Chain A
Amino acid sequence: MSPLLLTVIQAVLVLGLAPLTVGLVRWFKARLQGRQGAVPWLPYVALATMLRREMVISESTSWVFRLVPFVVCATGVFLVLILPLVSTGSALSAYSHFMLVAGVLALGSVFLVLGGLDSASAFGGMGSSREMTIASLVEPAVFAVFAAFAVASGHATIDGMVQTGGAALLVTPALLFSLIALVLIALAENARYPVDNPATHLELTMVHEAMVLEYSGPYLAMVEYASALRLTVFLLLLANFTVPTSFLFHPSAWQTGATAAVLVGTFLKLLLGSFLLALLETSIVKMRFYRMQEYLSLAFVIALAGLLLTLFL
């Protein structure tokens, strides 16, 4: 299968399944809380509706405000194209150097922060300042985690790290720490419990939602879609690091059965990932904001422990 085909399959699959992931998380959470919950494919309907609506943009914004949804969406799509989510060795996989990935993630965050600030509203500024704190504290942890994986596998690209086999990576038990740290980071980056509550309607408790309060219509659709993409990307990445499953990879020939198996496998990973996320969100509480430094310090120390143990053992 040619690398280009791999990229296309991955892009179509993940871009298509992203809103379903968000819907699944909400559905599982509702069921765990004893409610009936909306159907899992509701986000598709919501996005479609939002695209048809008229936008209302504040007059005190600048061109940055209009640029933000495009940048954020673009970073999401870029990540989907380069990371080894469904297939490894795809056309753009050489770009998946971990520093580039960390930089792209940060780019998305920074532009979202700018968007929150741009509308000069109080809540937007508050959300932006909180998001910036979290983003700056999570950076060292991200680097430490991926550095540990890089040292263990000998590749600097995430594609290479996963390609050497998920189980083989875990033979170095120190990487267990890096994995735990990656989970903690994922929760922070995706604005999930215990860092942020995505379903809150109280502005003073918001971090991510506060920044996108001013967006409406298609722009809001793009921003929501981007965060869904981020969540899907992180879930699939975590699954691929943890569980050694099959990927679609470059030198092999087209086999319908294997391909179908991988596609089903991806869907199952998303299902399991969203269930675990919903379970986590139902079990723990959101932390007070000033305790973010404890949480993120813990993530950093665990990531550092993984890195040091990988280096010296």
Chain B
Amino acid sequence: MIATLAVLEPLFAVVFLFASVLAMPTFRVKSLLRLYACSSIALALLIFSFAVRDASGHLYPLALGTLFVKGLVIPALLTNAIRRSGASERLQSSLRAAPSLFVTVAALLVTALLIQHLPFAASAASAHVLYLSIAVAFAGILMMVLRRDVFSQMVGFLFIENGIAAFSLATIVVIPVAIEVGIFSIVLLAVSMMALLSHKVQELYGTSDTASLRELTD
């Protein structure tokens, strides 16, 4: 089993990265959430294979938590919230699909160049995972900046969290289980709060476009 996992590890890593890259030109809410779930499950499997390979027991709860919370609960929560709020499926963005895809690819290339300047490259557990984490976090930031509607910004934040989770994997920091539970619950609470807020925004403004949230300027 260890051998199979070792072979499949690059696959998990690539799926994790590609799901976040493919999320950029996606303009339907359900596809976006499915890609996020896919990316989270790939991350969970990646953590699991690291745990099996290095026999580090502390990674198992992290893998389980990622799989359960980020792969299942959060997408279900958001899909439910979107359905109940009656928001439109079509998402808004400042850039169209093709340019946003190219911007993401440019971001990936920039990350590759940047990695060499970081002092972690030598000491990180795996240079590939380090690259993945920074790339996915960067893609998340791009999504938050380029997209105009509340759901994409939420999903962008979630991709940033995924990238940070991968970063913790790369820098092999042992976080006690209690803190991990705390981090997962915080992410879950933050997402539920954002979902509640977007529901209220949809109720009040009739649209999920944040262009309507531009009143306070001074």
Partner of B105 from the list A293, A294, A301 (CB cut-off 8 Å) is: A301
Give Cα A297 to B104, complex, Å. 12
A 173-184 binary contact with B (CB < 8 Å = 1; else 0):
100000000000
CB-CB under 8 A from B18, the residues of chain A are 305
Total residues of chain A contacting the partner, CB 8 A: 11
Flag if A294 contacts B11 (CB, 8 Å): no
Q: How large is the interface on B (under 10, 10 to 19, 20 to 34, 35 or more residues)?
A: 10 to 19
Give Cα A173 to B97, complex, Å. 27
Query: Chain B at the A interface: mostly helix, strand, loop or mixed?
Result: helix
CB-CB under 8 A from B97, the residues of chain A are 291, 293-294, 297
Flag if A297 contacts B11 (CB, 8 Å): no
- A285-305: which have CB < 8 Å to B? 291, 293-294, 297-298, 301, 304-305
Give Cα A301 to B22, complex, Å. 10
Give Cα A11 to B169, complex, Å. 56
- A259-313: which have CB < 8 Å to B? 291, 293-294, 297-298, 301, 304-305, 309, 313
CB distance from A180 to the nearest CB of B (A): 11
Partner of A293 from the list B11, B14, B22, B98 (CB cut-off 8 Å) is: B98
B 100-130 binary contact with A (CB < 8 Å = 1; else 0):
0110010000000000000000000000000
Flag if A297 contacts B102 (CB, 8 Å): yes
Residue of B nearest to A313 (CB): B10
Give Cα A298 to B101, complex, Å. 8
CB-CB under 8 A from B101, the residues of chain A are 294, 297-298, 301
- B5-49: which have CB < 8 Å to A? 10-11, 14, 18, 21-22, 25
Partner of A298 from the list B11, B14, B25, B96 (CB cut-off 8 Å) is: B25
Give Cα A298 to B96, complex, Å. 13
CB-CB under 8 A from B14, the residues of chain A are 173, 309
CB distance from A305 to the nearest CB of B (A): 7
Residue of B nearest to A304 (CB): B105
Give Cα A309 to B18, complex, Å. 12
Flag if A173 contacts B10 (CB, 8 Å): yes
CB-CB under 8 A from A304, the residues of chain B are 105
CB-CB under 8 A from B22, the residues of chain A are 298
CB distance from B100 to the nearest CB of A (A): 10
- B117-174: which have CB < 8 Å to A? none
Give Cα A294 to B102, complex, Å. 10
CB-CB under 8 A from A298, the residues of chain B are 22, 25, 101
CB-CB under 8 A from B98, the residues of chain A are 293-294, 297
Of listed A291, A297, A304, residue having the most chain B CB within 10 A: A297
CB-CB under 8 A from B11, the residues of chain A are 173
CB-CB under 8 A from A313, the residues of chain B are 10
- B47-100: which have CB < 8 Å to A? 96-98
CB distance from A239 to the nearest CB of B (A): 24
CB distance from A83 to the nearest CB of B (A): 30
CB-CB under 8 A from A301, the residues of chain B are 21, 101-102, 105
Residue of A nearest to B18 (CB): A305
Residue of A nearest to B101 (CB): A297
Give Cα A38 to B84, complex, Å. 48
CB distance from B28 to the nearest CB of A (A): 13
CB distance from A175 to the nearest CB of B (A): 12
Give me the interface of B with A, judged by CB distance under 8 Å. Answer: 10-11, 14, 18, 21-22, 25, 96-98, 101-102, 105
The 5 closest A-B pairs by CB, nearest first: A297-B98, A294-B97, A293-B98, A294-B98, A297-B101
Give me the interface of A with B, judged by CB distance under 8 Å. Answer: 173, 291, 293-294, 297-298, 301, 304-305, 309, 313
- 12 examples of A-B residue contacts, CB within 8 angstroms: A173-B10, A173-B11, A291-B97, A293-B97, A294-B101, A297-B97, A297-B98, A297-B102, A301-B21, A301-B105, A304-B105, A313-B10
Given A291-B97, A294-B98, A301-B101, 14 further pairs, Cβ under 8 A = A173-B14, A293-B97, A294-B25, A294-B97, A294-B101, A297-B25, A297-B97, A297-B98, A297-B101, A297-B102, A298-B22, A298-B101, A301-B105, A313-B10
